[in-house]
Structure formats: C-alpha cells, structure tokens
Amino acid sequence: MKATAATKTRARKVQAKSTPSKKSIRKKGADRTYLELKQEIANTEKLRTEELATLHAQAEAARVRETADVIDKINVAIAEYGLRPQDLNFKNVSSRAGKKVGRAAGKKAAGKKTAGTKPAAKKSATKKPSVVKFQDGEGNQWSGRGPQPKWIKSALAAGKQLDEFRAVTPSNV
C-alpha cells in the first residue's frame, strides 16, 4: 500500500508533536551530563505516567456518570411497565455482579432504595443425621447411601448377603 504525500505529511506532524527531533536532542544533549539527561528522561516518563493516570481517572468518571444515567433510565422503564425482578431474565450475570456503580456507589439518594438491599433468606444450618441401615458386630456402620464401604464389599465377596448386616430398628423389627 503506497502512502500518499498527505499521509506522509500528517505522519511527520504527529511525530514532530510527540517526539523531539534527533537534531534537537543532539544539540541539547551535547552540553548536558549523563545525570541531567537521565533526570530529564525520568521526568518525561513521570509526565507520561501522570497523563495516563489522568486519562484513566477521566474514563472512570465518565463510566460512572454514564452508568448512573443508564440505571436511572432503566428504573424509569421498570416503573412505567410495572416490571418485577422475576420478569427480568438475568441468567448470564457478568463478573461485575454485586459491585455498586453510579449513584449506588456513593451514598443512597435521599428517600430512595437501591436494588439488592434486601438480605438473602438464610438456609437451614442443621443437617439431618443419616440413619444407620447396615452394621456389623465390629462397630462398622453404613447408611446405605453412596458407594459401599470396604467392609461391606469384602463381606459380600466372602459370600455373605447384604441383609445379614441390616441394622435392627423399631421400624423393621
């Protein structure tokens, strides 16, 4: 692909703005020490870092500002159409789920509730103990759930029947 004269001129102008010419570096550098040049390089890098940090901050502020506007528009639409949380299909939740953005990131607006402030229902912390259905005379027990333990497998391999190990309970007497 051939570059046109206008493209070359634009490229030279951009390069001239972003980096000093080699001649100006030689002229300035000829009279300065290594440490002075090193310090100027560090200052330039610091300036670029500061500019980059400023740009990142501006981008984040714009994102927060725009997100707040989008949230307001969504809340208006939800109110207008009378939508409920179960009406909204949020199967694919992004990695940002649960992070507050926009107005919700700061203080709550006076008199307004933000979505998701209701605590989740607690699950039952107690677990039913499993009932012993099989046992041998040596203290080994098995509920009958999950894979068979080694003591059952070895007894069955020795020719015994599973019913021989059935635990005696009031319901099966």
The phi, psi pair for 155, rounded to 5°, reads: -70, -40
Among 127, 157, 152, 117, residue whose Cα is nearest residue 138:
152
Lowest-confidence range among 45-49, 53-57, 155-159?
Answer: 53-57
Whether the full predicted model's pTM is greater than 0.85, yes or no, is no
Average pLDDT, the chain: 73
In a domain, 23, yes or no: yes
Do residues 66 and 140 share a domain?
no
In a domain, 21, yes or no: yes
- Write down the pLDDT at residue 150: 92
- Write down the pLDDT at residue 54: 79
In order, the DSSP letters of 25-42 are HHHHHHTS-HHHHHHHHH
- Write down the pLDDT at residue 97: 54
Do residues 97 and 42 share a domain?
yes
Do residues 101 and 138 share a domain?
no
Do residues 21 and 100 share a domain?
yes
Say yes or no to pLDDT of 89 above 60. Answer: yes
Do residues 9 and 90 share a domain?
yes
- Write down the pLDDT at residue 30: 66
In a domain, 112, yes or no: no
Rounded to an integer, the average pLDDT of 116-134 is: 71
More confident residue, 138 or 31: 138
How do residues 6-27 score in pLDDT, each as one tens digit? 666 665 655 555 555 555 555 5
Do residues 69 and 147 share a domain?
no
Say yes or no to pLDDT of 94 above 70. Answer: no
Handedness of CA 98, 103, 109, 115 (dihedral sign): negative
In a domain, 92, yes or no: yes
In a domain, 110, yes or no: no
More confident residue, 126 or 151: 151
In a domain, 12, yes or no: yes
Number of domains in the chain: 2
Do residues 79 and 160 share a domain?
no
Answer yes or no: are the C-beta atoms of 64 and 102 closer than 8 Å: yes
| Both tokens assigned to 111 | 């008199």
Which residue range is the domain that position 92 belongs to?
Answer: 5-105
- Write down the pLDDT at residue 5: 65
3-state DSSP assignment of residue 166 = strand
Do residues 58 and 140 share a domain?
no
In a domain, 115, yes or no: no
Rounded to an integer, the average pLDDT of 86-101 is: 64
Say yes or no to pLDDT of 135 above 70. Answer: yes
In a domain, 111, yes or no: no
Answer yes or no: are the C-beta atoms of 40 and 24 closer than 8 Å: no
Do residues 22 and 65 share a domain?
yes
